[in-house]
A and B are shown apart, each in its own frame.
Chain A
Amino acid sequence: MPRGRTALALGLAALLAAGFLAVFVGPGGHSGGVSAAPASASAGAPALATYSEQAPHVASILNAYGVEGGVRGESGNPADPLPPVSAAAFAAPVAAYERFSVRQLQSMQPDIAQLQAALAAGNRGAAEAAWRSAYADYLELGGVYLEGPVASLNQAIDGTPGGLPGGVASRRFTGLHRLEYGLWTGQALAPLVPVAERLSANVSQLARLLPGTTISPLDYATRAHEILEDAVRDLLSGTDVPWSGEGVLGTSAGLTATTEIVGTLAPLLKNREGVLPVVNTELAGLRSTLSGLAAAHGGRLPTNSELSQEQSERLDAATGQALEALAQVPGALEAAPAQATPQIPASAAQIDP
């Protein structure tokens, strides 16, 4: 982590130890992701503060209290918890994101057309290049985890064979990963043409349906960190791209999507716990790391297996750093104040035998 932040955090040790944070967190509330328990436990026990004060995710919360350019709640009074963001305030960001998504899907079509042409021509190298472009286009949408008919369309476009009976042999295995499987395992190219045609049709269908879908404020705010969480879990690990190994490309696309979403949320994040500057810094850091990797590999993002040990660790570090910052976004944008959990009525409480 950056040295500056460590110094800042250390300077706050006394504040934490005095139970300063406990003032902000009511019983049962998890405002900003800080639990009441550790803070109140640390009152009168300074040693307990030494771990959390240095953690990046806590440091970004500390910014909320007006330290190092961070901004307080709207009243400017550190004792005031931030007021919830109204659900209506998410309408414009979500609408902007949907317009972006539809544009993205439309720009995917020329790449799919190139892919079809290369497959028909029997040119594996060109087909792989077109596949990479189409795959990146789709991931730049940012993890369309959608419900209803669009969920099955997403499965048909980007689904992996893992959960299908028969795996890669399943008739339901189609879309980008079916093409990846065929391209990188030396399968004949002509039989893949209909797969690419079907992909094109599914992408068109998704572009038609997408504007009609709804995204809840919480889901939208959560997506700001979940896209890159998925990239780490499924792409850099190689799980979802076992044949092409294009996890770095997928992560780069996920970063584009995340940057887009954070951009739409920027007006809401202004003055919210100082999260935005930290997020922007870490996203820029990850972008710069990815650019460095491309530069080191002749201008093309390397596959997972082309990363040297040092490059792999550097990318993991930058991704992890960005994620710790992004994980603060949902808490900073809470659309409703945390409610206390209802209790089991005392008269109804039973202990299992």
Chain B
Amino acid sequence: MKPLNRRAFLARSTIAVGGAAGVTAGLASAERARAALVPLTAEDASNDAGAAASATDLSTSRPFAGVHQEGVLTPKPAHASLVALDSFAPDRATLAQALKALSGRAQELTAGGPIPLLEVDAPPADSGILGPVNAPDALTITIGFGASLFDGRYGLASQRPAELIPMPSFPVDQLDPTLTHGDLLIQICAQHRDTVVHALRELLRTVRGTLQQRWAIDGFEGAGRGPTKQSNPRNLFAFRDGTANPPADDAALMNQLTWVGGGDQRWAVGGTYQVVRIIRMHVEFWDRVALREQENMIGRSRDTGAPLGGTNEFEDPRFDLDPNGKRIPLTAHMRLANPRTPATANQRMIRRGFNYHRGFDKAGQLDQGLVFIAFNQAPSRQFVPVQTRLNQEPMIDYITPIGGGYFFVPPGAQSQGDWVGSGLFLT
């Protein structure tokens, strides 16, 4: 057997990044990806295409390329994995090649299509756990950079996005170093768990030896259980989460709250700051707390999600009519997080978290919680003041933030052959 080529990702990434900026339709994109792959026999292609087409719920595809990356404003699918990676690239050029390969493979996976057929005496090009044709399944792969990528190793220090710092430890945090920070973060989301697991496995293979996994966590979204399509699913404290999210379809608002504009690094325009907090929720303890106390800690009715004293999840809580907290305590989570005043309007942020469950801790307690994910135009204006207000909330007894980090999600790959992060290497 030949010695392994340590930079094998170069050979394994078979496809250049394609797609017109921002407008790549799913099917067209999948077709292009198929065309670029090693052709199957006509018979195989026909069988596989038929199988994939019959699974209609798997056929939704999200474009990888675009002005902005997917996975930020994209509607949340059911499953997610986050994996943080550290770079062991010996030099800047190798790092750039790894990032290019990462985007290339991500493009293939999100588009879907038949997997390439190699010689039978070679390991297969794809693990094949989704079968001979990878269905897109609303897969999104979002690539972010941590502050440590901008240290001295690759000459990137002068291009660090203005607000990208290592996530500080807030007063209630018990950050586990093995669950915190990282040179890169890849967020993988799809409708089905096996699609996410497959993408993770393929992406790690693509950059093996150069980008090494540091930590990972899996998340899931509650099923849509109504009463309406708009009703938000519940977190593991049983309260609806995401109710007060700013509307992602308001492009002008997103330019004020989510996307980085002028004033930051030029290459960063169109990107966003991703705050990840792995928040352990002590659910047994929570289940031993009276319902009234639970609702007062959150500020909402557990069943309906309505602000206390209201009937509809999306009702304005009218804090202005309750200045002393007689209806909704002044320390309620919703009130501290979003006081709904003109002064705090620009602190709102897109929250796109997932529940997590990962067994039990050493005390036999369920290790469950929330992978809090928030996208910010400027964390110092948004996440940080909100979190600082929440440091005093009564709910802190029932949660422990144990990991996460600050990451910068660059703008999307924007043209033929482009890749996420390419703007960093132009100079």
A→B interface (CB under 8 Å): 30, 33, 35, 37, 57, 160, 162-165, 167, 225-226, 229, 232-233, 235-239, 247, 304, 312-313, 316-317, 319-320, 323-324, 327, 330-331, 338, 341-345, 348-353
Are B363 and A316 in contact, CB atoms less than 8 angstroms apart?
A: yes
Nearest CB in chain B: distance from A97 CB, A: 20
Chain B 364-399 near chain A by CB (<8 Å), digits 1 or 0:
110000000000000000000000000000000100
Chain B 261-282 near chain A by CB (<8 Å), digits 1 or 0:
0000000000000000000001
Are A35 and B291 in contact, CB atoms less than 8 angstroms apart?
A: yes
**Can you add 11 more A-B contacts, CB < 8 Å, to A304-B362, A342-B327?**
A162-B173, A232-B363, A233-B400, A237-B365, A238-B363, A316-B363, A330-B290, A331-B290, A341-B309, A350-B315, A352-B314
Are B171 and A163 in contact, CB atoms less than 8 angstroms apart?
A: yes
Are A348 and B318 in contact, CB atoms less than 8 angstroms apart?
A: yes
* Chain A CB within 10 Å, residue with most, of B170, B173, B308, B361: B361
Q: Give complex CA distance A238, B169 in Å.
A: 19
Nearest CB in chain B: distance from A11 CB, A: 25
Q: Give complex CA distance A317, B400 in Å.
A: 22
Are B308 and A341 in contact, CB atoms less than 8 angstroms apart?
A: yes
Give the residues in chain A near B363, CB-CB below 8 Å.
232-233, 235-238, 247, 316, 319
Give the residues in chain B near A247, CB-CB below 8 Å.
363
Q: Give complex CA distance A22, B288 in Å.
A: 20
Nearest CB in chain B: distance from A202 CB, A: 19
Choose one: A164, A237, A319, A320; the contact of B169 (CB below 8 Å). A164
Are A344 and B169 in contact, CB atoms less than 8 angstroms apart?
A: no
Given that A232-B363, A344-B315 are contacting pairs, would A165 and B285 also be in contact in the complex, using a CB cutoff of 8 Å?
no
Question: Taking CB as reference atom, which chain B residue is nearest A166?
Answer: B169
Q: Give complex CA distance A341, B327 in Å.
A: 6
Are A316 and B316 in contact, CB atoms less than 8 angstroms apart?
A: no
Given that A320-B284, A344-B307 are contacting pairs, would A163 and B170 also be in contact in the complex, using a CB cutoff of 8 Å?
yes
Choose one: B292, B312, B364; the contact of A312 (CB below 8 Å). B364
Q: Give complex CA distance A352, B311 in Å.
A: 13
Q: Give complex CA distance A30, B316 in Å.
A: 26
Given that A316-B364, A350-B316 are contacting pairs, would A162 and B321 also be in contact in the complex, using a CB cutoff of 8 Å?
no
**Interface CB pairs A-B, < 8 A, 29:** A37-B303, A162-B173, A162-B174, A163-B172, A163-B173, A165-B169, A226-B397, A229-B285, A232-B363, A233-B365, A235-B363, A236-B363, A237-B365, A239-B400, A304-B362, A312-B364, A316-B364, A317-B364, A319-B363, A341-B308, A341-B327, A343-B309, A344-B315, A345-B318, A349-B312, A349-B316, A350-B316, A352-B244, A352-B314
Are B314 and A351 in contact, CB atoms less than 8 angstroms apart?
A: yes
Asked whether any CB of chain A lies closer than 8 Å to the CB of B326, the reply is yes
Q: Give complex CA distance A345, B292 in Å.
A: 21
Give the residues in chain B near A163, CB-CB below 8 Å.
169-174
Nearest CB in chain B: distance from A37 CB, A: 7
Nearest CB in chain B: distance from A231 CB, A: 9
Asked whether any CB of chain A lies closer than 8 Å to the CB of B317, the reply is yes
Question: B277-309: which residues lie under 8 A (CB-CB) from chain A?
Answer: 282, 284-285, 288-292, 303, 307-309
Given that A163-B172, A349-B315 are contacting pairs, would A323 and B362 also be in contact in the complex, using a CB cutoff of 8 Å?
no
Question: Taking CB as reference atom, which chain A residue is nearest B282?
Answer: A233
Question: Taking CB as reference atom, which chain A residue is nearest B285?
Answer: A229
Question: Taking CB as reference atom, which chain A residue is nearest B296?
Answer: A341
Asked whether any CB of chain A lies closer than 8 Å to the CB of B359, the reply is no
Q: How many A-B residue pairs have CB under 8 A?
A: 110
Choose one: A165, A317, A331, A352; the contact of B316 (CB below 8 Å). A352
Are A233 and B175 in contact, CB atoms less than 8 angstroms apart?
A: no
Give the residues in chain B near A239, CB-CB below 8 Å.
174, 400
* Chain B CB within 10 Å, residue with most, of A232, A238, A330: A232
Chain B 323-350 near chain A by CB (<8 Å), digits 1 or 0:
0001100000000000000000000000
Are B290 and A344 in contact, CB atoms less than 8 angstroms apart?
A: no
Nearest CB in chain A: distance from B362 CB, A: 5
* Chain A CB within 10 Å, residue with most, of B290, B361, B397, B400: B290
Question: Taking CB as reference atom, which chain A residue is nearest B310?
Answer: A344
Asked whether any CB of chain A lies closer than 8 Å to the CB of B3, the reply is no
Give the residues in chain A near B171, CB-CB below 8 Å.
163
Give the residues in chain A near B290, CB-CB below 8 Å.
30, 33, 330-331
Give the residues in chain B near A160, CB-CB below 8 Å.
174
Chain B 160-194 near chain A by CB (<8 Å), digits 1 or 0:
00000000111111110000000000000000000
Question: Taking CB as reference atom, which chain B residue is nearest A247?
Answer: B363
Question: B385-427: which residues lie under 8 A (CB-CB) from chain A?
Answer: 397, 400
Chain B 239-259 near chain A by CB (<8 Å), digits 1 or 0:
000001001000000000000
Give the residues in chain B near A353, CB-CB below 8 Å.
247
Choose one: B309, B362, B364, B400; the contact of A344 (CB below 8 Å). B309
Nearest CB in chain A: distance from B167 CB, A: 12
Are B288 and A344 in contact, CB atoms less than 8 angstroms apart?
A: no
Question: Taking CB as reference atom, which chain B residue is nearest A242?
Answer: B174
Question: Taking CB as reference atom, which chain B residue is nearest A251?
Answer: B363
Are A30 and B321 in contact, CB atoms less than 8 angstroms apart?
A: no
Give the residues in chain B near A349, CB-CB below 8 Å.
310-312, 315-316, 318
Give the residues in chain B near A226, CB-CB below 8 Å.
397
Question: Taking CB as reference atom, which chain A residue is nearest B171?
Answer: A163
Nearest CB in chain A: distance from B279 CB, A: 14
Q: Give complex CA distance A233, B174 in Å.
A: 12
Choose one: B169, B170, B400; the contact of A167 (CB below 8 Å). B169
Q: Give complex CA distance A169, B97 in Å.
A: 38
Are A324 and B315 in contact, CB atoms less than 8 angstroms apart?
A: no
Are B292 and A338 in contact, CB atoms less than 8 angstroms apart?
A: yes
Given that A162-B175, A237-B361 are contacting pairs, would A225 and B292 also be in contact in the complex, using a CB cutoff of 8 Å?
no
Are B327 and A324 in contact, CB atoms less than 8 angstroms apart?
A: no
Question: Taking CB as reference atom, which chain A residue is nearest B397?
Answer: A226
Question: Taking CB as reference atom, which chain B residue is nearest A345?
Answer: B321
Give the residues in chain A near B362, CB-CB below 8 Å.
236-238, 304, 312
Are B316 and A351 in contact, CB atoms less than 8 angstroms apart?
A: yes
